[in-house]
Every structure is written in C-alpha cells, then in structure tokens.
Amino acid sequence: MSDSQGEDPVDPLTRLAIKHGTDKWGAHFYTPLYHSLFLPLRNRAIRLLEIGVGGSEFQTIGGASLAMWAEYFPYGLFTGIDIAEKRLTLDPRIKLFRGSQDDPIFLKNVCAERGPFDVIIDDGSHTPKHVVASFNLLFPSLLDGGLYVIEDMQTAFWPLSGGSMIHGGEIMKLARTIIECLNHAEIAVVDRSPSLPAFAHQIKSFRAFHNVLYQSSH
C-alpha cells in the first residue's frame, strides 16, 4: 500500500489505529497529523518512547497505540511506561516499564536502557505538572532531530486537571519557555544572563495543533 493517500482519504497510520483499536483515532484525530510528521522516519530504525500504555489500572488492557507504532515503523524499537503494572502480549520489539512520568531516577534508568530516543510521545496522566516534569527530564535526552509530542494539552485549561482557564497554567508556561528558547540568541542581546533552561540550544522548532504540542531537537 502506498503512503500517498491518493483518492483514499484514510492514511496508513489511521488504518493501523483502527485495526489496533487505539483512541489516537476516533476519540481523537491525531493519526493523520502523526502520519504527516512521522512519514520520513517510517523506514528507519527509530527508538520511540510513549508515556502512558492505556487501559487505566487494568493489567491486561492497553498497548493499542504501541502495537500501532510497531506495525507502522517496521524497523523500530518501542518503549512504553505506565504508572500501573501491565501484563500484555505485544510485539517483541516493545518493552514496558512501570513507573511515574515525573520520577527522574526512573526516567533516567529507562533512557539509559532503551534510549536515546528519536520520538517521545506524552500520552500519560495529562496533569500539567507531570507534563512539564516529563518534558524537562526527557527532552534533553532526544537524539539530534528528535521529536517530542505532548498530547491532550487541553488539560492546560481545565482546573480539575491542574490547569487554568485564565492563563493555561503550567503547560502554557512551558510553551512560552520553549518559544523563548527558540529566540535565546536574540534575548541575550538585551539580557546577558537569561533564565532559560539548559536545553535552550536544543530547541529547533515548536508547533501547535489542536490539542497537540510538537517540538523538535537540533
């Protein structure tokens, strides 16, 4: 099957999402976007980390999106992390770890064993403070040209999730910081010691889509 959509309105990744039953299509509509972003990587031996395996606290439910990624990237290596224990039968190129997405020691160990990563997708708790913690800990570990995706960032505006209707809370602060990082050289013209994170020089691009934030690394 060709990667070109041609007259077929359903792209290959969306077809795989339907096949494996992941909510990255249906409940959401991320897969057409991801197909356009990830197509150049499809036949490479990438390493992909996904935060959040799915299935809530149920041990034998989840892994649908990891199964989708494994079929989409036939030469890739895949890692899933979840705070709940998971007992799933998945492609042998997939390995699961149990731990919190804001635990620096846990994430460091995962990166040491399975990284460095070409793609990181945060589909975890969607709690703003967790999203920001994961980004600060994991973005610096991306390979050059790596991609970092934050899903379901609408929670930035939901008070019950720790967001804010007024200013978007911690996730919108993170977005502002990323934009400042993109312009670190110009900021330095007027501020010789800007309070930017250590990874400021790694930020190559920042894009926002409906409920998705996307960053790439040098």
Of 55, 49, 57, nearest in space to 73 by CA: 49
Beta bridge mates, 149: 121, 214
Task: Count CB-CB contacts under 10 A for residue 136.
Answer: 16
From the candidates 20, 28, 35, 126, which is the catalytic residue? 126
- Tell me how far apart the alpha carbons of residues 166 and 76 are, in angstroms, rounded to a whole number: 41
In eight-state DSSP terms, residue 104 is H
- Tell me how far apart the alpha carbons of residues 64 and 82 are, in angstroms, rounded to a whole number: 13
Residue type, 100: S
Burial of 46 (0-12, 13-18, 19+ CB in 10 A): buried
Helix or strand or coil: residue 88? coil
C-alpha to C-alpha distances, 71 to 78, 90, 94, 97, 202, nearest whole angstrom: 11, 11, 11, 20, 30
Of 139, 109, 107, 106, nearest in space to 121 by CA: 139
Can 126 be counted among the known catalytic residues?
A: yes
* Residue 49 · residue 109 · CB < 8 Å: no
| Positions marked active-site | 126
